[in-house]
Chain A
């Protein structure tokens, strides 16, 4: 049997899901590691304030949050493929027939 061609929407969705996992992992590692070293058990006099906000909040939470807004913008408008999720009219009949086949699988 010839190797069938994967559905492009499936292929794109899987690739995008992997990129999301990478974004999530990098965000987790940066935030947790930064806060581990700079947020926990600090002496108050060592905390620098930016507009009244502690330095570790600015660099450990707000900066990655802002960075993620940028990454999300890139992901949504430049990386995510514009796949057609609708069923083409000529396939509707096939889909309807397949839904009605009723052969249970275990």
Chain B
């Protein structure tokens, strides 16, 4: 029996239900926004995020498609070493939310800031610094969006290629696809469906819709993993024989499995399943049990053997996840939108629990997958293949929707940030400060739509080295904004010139290392002196640039320092 049509049907059903729910949420968000200040509501949800919404929007936006496609693929390939690779997430919430959260929220409220450039602009009374920030945000987010749009398009194409209505759309696009070399009509159809579904609800519902859909997407991701874990352990219990059992003929093996699958359910079957997995891997794939990890092939004997996670790289990743996460513009924006300190405290703890329940179980699930009879052509398919193997069809559809939810929750947030940079930071604050709220409303909707479809055009024929471009986008963003934001929030002596110097130095160092790497190898990889990730060089450069730039130029006025660093009874209005 061929299970494909049934699986595709269930997947499509789940996907359609999911899209309908997203649009329902957008309509609700649009309804709630009536009667409120458009700018604050559309781009910042009127700063009304409670603990659960803050926690889940933060977690969902941080988890891009990689968490549910690339990460499982790596575990399936390399085994337990991925527990060390992801270990930085144990401190991710407290670092990314706790380090800047309280202070960025306070300063944003003082400045009445709606966007990140607003903070820099108003903290220093410097319109050109606001513009510089806006242009840098647009650059990084467009780069990032191209990669995410491609991932979304490919995912829809993979999930729906067997469905008649998708094949119909694909057939109509063959003429358009023929205009681009190496682009299939199926990919174009997937891209078009993805873009339409995300851009419309983002444009219509604004920040509140993005946050509420993030909450739903975060719940789907969390539930998906929590349900998949016991199903996987039970499947391992059924499929695997205890290692100390004598090998049996195939027929007997099958009868043993049949007998086990019909046993009454007991909780101990989970632990027995995991024990069997451990013993099997120890005997059959011992490299998956320790670091640095390598593929289960014969390549470890030759010169081509490359360890997956040498110690230096493990240190880099422990640094990269929590510290670079603090410097992502999308994360900073969410920290501007929560209500009060209690909200922040509860959200930090909730995200800590959430990540504990997502990442450790994911490692266990896909280590188990190494011992189960998965049919995968590429390790990237490990997630859907596991869902199909261990879960009933409707649940499998939900599990397969998890990576899609992760991509959507990242894309919608970034679309809105680009739109806010163009409408609020460039148009309203630099070109036409007297623009009416009605004009802003129309411009915001139109810009979100336009940016979405512009990125679609850029993604039709995406550039090579896409994964490396994503890494460049994340590392560059953190190197550019983290040092500048830390100095802005915590150093009274910092000024506009120093902050601009921090941003530009971080940007130039990361871009420079990538340019040297490109010249050396011909590929989009960075030069990494002393095997240290370019983000770390960029961050060091950014802090040095920020401090020197501030010290070399006149200090900020006493009144500016008093406004942001002194108790309120020391701040005086201008005379």
Contacts and interface: CB of A to CB of B under 8 A. Distances in A.
A77 B345 contact: yes
Contact of A52 (B275, B286, B348, B566): B275
Contact of A99 (B112, B356, B567): B112
Given A53-B278, A105-B496, A24 B322 contact: yes
Given A85-B341, A106-B553, A42 B290 contact: yes
A13 B106 contact: yes
A72 B94 contact: yes
A47 B495 contact: no
Interface string B352-377: 11001000100010000000000000
A83 B341 contact: yes
A80 B341 CA distance: 8
B28 interface: no
B290 A40 contact: yes
Contacts of B274: 51-53
B77 to A, nearest CB: 17
B156 to A, nearest CB: 35
B83 A24 contact: no
A12 B290 contact: no
Contacts of B390: none
A49 B279 contact: yes
A56 B81 CA distance: 10
Contact of A7 (B81, B289, B567): B567
Interface residues of A, number: 73
Given A20-B98, A52-B274, A54-B290, A87 B557 contact: no
A25 to B, nearest CB: 10
B349 A77 contact: yes
Interface string A59-103: 011101110110111011100111111111001011111110111
B130 to A, nearest CB: 11
Nearest to B338: A85
A87 to B, nearest CB: 6
Given A9-B106, A56-B290, A4 B570 contact: yes
A13 B290 contact: no
A72 B352 contact: yes
B198 to A, nearest CB: 32
Interface string B96-134: 001110110110011110000000001011111000000
Interface stretch (B213-221, B312-320, B399-407): B312-320
Contact of A101 (B125, B319, B353, B360): B125
B536 to A, nearest CB: 13
A27 B315 CA distance: 11
A47 B341 CA distance: 45
Nearest to B566: A4
A42 to B, nearest CB: 4
B565 interface: yes
B289 A106 contact: no
Contacts of B110: 87, 95
Contact of A13 (B87, B93, B102): B102
A23 B202 CA distance: 37
B570 A40 contact: no
Interface string B335-352: 000001110111011001
B573 interface: yes
Contacts of A71: 94
Q: Which of B87, B127, B292, B562 has the most C-beta atoms of chain A within 10 angstroms of its own C-beta?
A: B87
A24 B100 CA distance: 14
B184 interface: no
A65 B26 CA distance: 36
A105 B490 contact: no
B533 interface: no
Contact of B277 (A32, A52, A76): A52
A97 B290 contact: no
Contact of B125 (A49, A76, A77, A103): A103
Given A5-B567, A75-B98, A64 B290 contact: no
A13 B574 contact: no
B348 A65 contact: no
A28 B314 CA distance: 10
A65 B490 contact: no
Contacts of A88: 568
B115 to A, nearest CB: 14
Contacts of B319: 28
B469 interface: no
B282 interface: yes
Contacts of B557: 103, 105
A17 B94 contact: no
Nearest to A26: B91
Q: Which of A23, A76, A85, A93 has the most C-beta atoms of chain B within 10 angstroms of its own C-beta?
A: A85
B91 A23 contact: yes
Given A24-B91, A27-B90, A105-B496, A85 B566 contact: no
Contacts of A84: 340-341
B381 interface: no
Contacts of B87: 31, 61, 64-65
Contacts of A99: 111-112, 122
B291 A5 contact: no
Interface string A2-30: 00111111101110110011011001100
9 contacts: A5-B570, A7-B566, A41-B291, A52-B273, A52-B279, A54-B80, A72-B348, A91-B571, A96-B112
Given A42-B290, A54-B290, 14 more contacts: A6-B565, A7-B566, A7-B567, A8-B567, A23-B94, A40-B291, A52-B277, A52-B278, A53-B364, A56-B290, A72-B348, A83-B106, A94-B573, A98-B573
Interface of B: 80-81, 83-84, 87, 90-91, 93-95, 98-100, 102-103, 105-106, 109-112, 122, 124-128, 271, 273-279, 282-283, 286, 289-292, 311, 314-315, 318-319, 322, 340-342, 344-346, 348-349, 352-353, 356, 360, 364, 489-490, 495-497, 553-554, 556-557, 559-560, 562-574
Which A-B residue pairs are the 8 nearest by beta carbons?
A52-B278, A44-B286, A52-B274, A76-B345, A13-B103, A39-B291, A65-B90, A42-B290
